[in-house]
Amino acid sequence: MPSRAGYLWGPLSALGLGIAAAACALDQALKLWLLFAYRLAEKGVVAVAPFVDFVLTWNTGISYGWFQQEGPLGQGALLALKTIAVALLWIWLARAGTRLTAAALGLIIGGALGNAIDRLAYGAVADFVLLHFETGAWRFNWYVFNLADVAIVAGVVLLLYESVLGTAPQKRPDPGDSGTFRG
Q: Which is catalytic among the residues 27, 53, 127, 177? A: 127
Q: What is the DSSP string of 131-171?
A: EEEE-SS-EEEPPPB-HHHHHHHHHHHHHHHHHHHSPPPPP
| DSSP secondary structure of 18-68 | HHHHHHHHHHHHHHHIIIIIS-HHHH--EEEETTEEEEEEEE-SSGGG-S-
What is the Cα gyration radius of the chain?
Answer: 21
List, in order, residues 6 or more apart from 23 with CB less than 8 Å away.
106, 107, 109, 110, 111, 114, 147, 148, 151
The reply to whether 149 belongs to the active site is yes
Which candidate in 27, 53, 118, 149 is catalytic? Answer: 149
Nearest one of 127, 130, 126 to 46, comparing CA atoms: 130
Does residue 174 carry a catalytic annotation? no
Which are the catalytic amino acids? Answer: 127, 149
